[in-house]
Structure 1
Amino acid sequence: MDWDKLRIFHAVADAGSLTHAGDVLHLSQSAVSRQIRALEDSLNTTLFHRHARGLILTEQGELLFDATSAMSKRLETAEARIRDSEEEVFGELRVTATTGFGSLWLAPRLSALYEEYPNLKIDLMLEERVLDLPMREADVAIRMKEPSQADLIRKRLLSVRMRLYASPEYLAKRGTPQSLDDLSGHRLICQNLAAVQVAAGASLVQMLMTHDVGSRLTVNNYFGVLQGVINNLGIGVLPDYTARDPANNLVRVLPEVESNEVPVFLAYPEELRQSKRVAAFRDFVTREIMAERVRQREDEDDAA
């Protein structure tokens, strides 16, 4: 098949319109239309259903679009590897992480990475959906469980536990609970059980719900839970790393109550093993975690 015709087909299928695809390709609508007809003739099939509102792929068109999408991802990977400089770290790096870890732990630390590599362009995608790294939906992922996709390099970063925290102002006003039964006089802030979250966090929330909690505020991510806690709305179920940020000024409540351990993994495709951008990001995250552990030990020594 003609590579140029496939490129034009992919643009049309992606845009759903000959006109929009022409704008992207800097070709006239008639030129795009001729190339699509020629491709259909060469394959002896119809690739698009045409109607007034645009174009819809036929079953055969869907098969071809799947193939051109995979080709496009592979070409992007090759381009990224070719453009990796031997001396510099530059270009785009697409990083995916959960909303909680990405917004509360990773994003506040990125200034240090930019100081070291000012020409790096990071596309930070925060969502609970697991993106397909081998298909290059992202270059690097930080996830709260070991990735199951094949052909990935995995590195365990740290472990997290969900615990109970409140602000000093809230506790000064409402008192500090001494047992789970005391939660009847407090408001619990936690993730909605219908929201996507780690099993350990959901199990802890389910256990807390079996007690007579006085009031409850549920949010669909930990960023919202933290905002409720620091604004003195109640006692929140939060990852322990949020308490290590002095700016949050959190007080742990009921220290005996916590979730099971949640492993945090960094992963990237095997084909990006030599990518200097990926290596720079991996090393940066590792350094930040080691520095945090050192600070934590120092704080523990000072407390002792």
Structure 2
Amino acid sequence: MDWDKLRIFHAVADAGSLTHAGDTLHLSQSAVSRQIRALEESLDATLFHRHARGLILTEQGELLFDATSAMIKRLDTAAARIKDSAEEVFGELRVTTTTGFGTLWLAPRLPRLYEAFPDLKIDLMLEERVLDLPMREADVAIRMKEPSQADLIRRRLMSVRMRLYATHDYIAKHGSPATIEDMSEHRLICQSPAAFQVHAGATLIARLLNNTMFSRLTVNNYFGVLQGVLNDLGIGVLPNYVSEDNPNLVRVLPEVESTEVPVFLAYPEELRQSQRIAAFRDFVTKEIQDDRRRKKGVETLDSV
């Protein structure tokens, strides 16, 4: 059905008069009448009874008026939400990132975002598959590589390196390897070589596995690797950001690490004006800046 005809029908039904509807729509009475007749012909139904005191809806007209009322209400709601989304921070925000980054870095920091914006509804989608932002599979992504799509706004957040970690208790009990060859005396905990992961991490794991390990535990994500390390099962390959929130971790073999992994935040160009996106972007940026300041503070204390 033609939306213009439905809009005119709704105005007539609401006003109960062709003349009053025409005044509201800035159309002549004859133009409104022609549109109503055309709509009735297309539906093969009479929508109004004509009386001296005005127009009264028929049963079919009542059904159509209920439908147009619901449509207009939904349109008004959508228009309000579009306006509000440009002015306020509320509503659903679909965020996608990797399981490791989402569970180990992002999720523990979300209470501060909710404290600032309690009306946000975050749908956190953690998976290694890269969701299609232009196709609106998600609103915003944090990715371990620069997005390739041209129609995305992107910002480099930080860099990550994969390093070796163990707990203080593990080191006290089993000692710390002095060379990479000494890793053969320890259990290696890492992502499975077959699991999807950044190339830098896979390369470091392949290098470590060139040495014969007496035992190995492989997991399909870094959250599982961290749990293995925290439970003193061995020495794990983990992204360096985990050490910021886990003071019980000790870095092992400081000279061994992966190449740099860039971390990008990206969102579709069409969401440039979204206050939800801006709030999330600024929150993540501030958290990273705060982490850097804390790290510099610790390094300063260590050097005193």
Q: TM-score range by the shorter chain?
A: 0.7 to 0.9
- State the match for 1:261 in structure 2: 260
Look up the equivalent residue of 1:135 and give its one-letter code: M
Structure 1 partner of 2:295? 296
2:121 corresponding residue in structure 1: 121
What do residues 121-153 of structure 1 show as CA deviations (whole Å, max 9, x unaligned)? Answer: 000000000000011000000000001122000
Q: What SS does structure 2 have at the residue aligned with 1:84?
A: helix
1:183–1:213 contact (8 Å) kept in structure 2: yes
- 1:151-230 alignment runs, 5 A limit: 151-230=151-230
Question: In structure 2, how many angstroms separate the alpha carbons of the residues matched to 1:86 and 1:146?
Answer: 27
TM-score normalised to structure 2 length: 0.73
> 1:84·1:275 contact (CA, 8 Å) conserved in 2?
no
Please state if 1:132 is matched with 2:144: no
Query: Which residue in 2 is equivalent to 1:271?
Result: 270
What is the distance in 2 between the residues matched to 1:176 and 1:2?
A: 75
Greater CA radius of gyration, 1 or 2?
2
Tell me what 1:32 maps to.
none
Contact 2:86 2:274 in 1 (8 A): no
Match of 1:82 in 2: 82
Gaps of 5+ in 2: 4-74
For 1:297, what is the secondary structure of its paired residue? helix
Amino acid across the alignment from 1:257: V
Residues in 2 aligned to 1:249 and 1:145: alpha-carbon distance in whole angstroms? 29
Shift of 1:84: 3.3
> What is the one-letter code of the residue matched to 1:155?
R
- Which letter maps to 1:205? I
Q: Is this contact kept in 2: 1:144–1:198, CA < 8 A?
A: yes
1:70 matched residue in structure 2? none
Quick one: percent identity of the two aligned structures?
73
| Residues 86 and 273 in structure 2, CA contact (< 8 A), matched pair in contact too | no
Q: Which runs of 4+ in 1 moved over 3 A?
A: 78-81, 83-87
Contact 1:81/1:272 (8 A) holds in 2: no
Say if 1:211 and 1:2 are closer, same or farther in 2 by CA, change over 3 A: farther
Other structure's SS at 1:228 match: helix
Cα 1:140–1:105, aligned 2, differ >3 Å: closer, same or farther?
same
Structure 1: state its 5+ residue gaps.
4-74
With structure 1 as the length reference, what TM-score do the two structures score?
A: 0.73
Letter in 1 for 2:214: G
Deviation at 1:2, TM superposition (A): 7.7
Count the aligned residue pairs: 230
Distance in 2, matches of 1:100 and 1:232, equals 19
Contact 1:131 1:138 in 2 (8 A): yes
Contact 2:89 2:119 in 1 (8 A): yes
**Contact conserved, 1:141 with 1:267, CA < 8 A, in 2?**
yes
Residue 260 of structure 1 deviates from its aligned partner by 0.0
Q: Distance in 2 between matches of 1:144 and 1:270?
A: 20
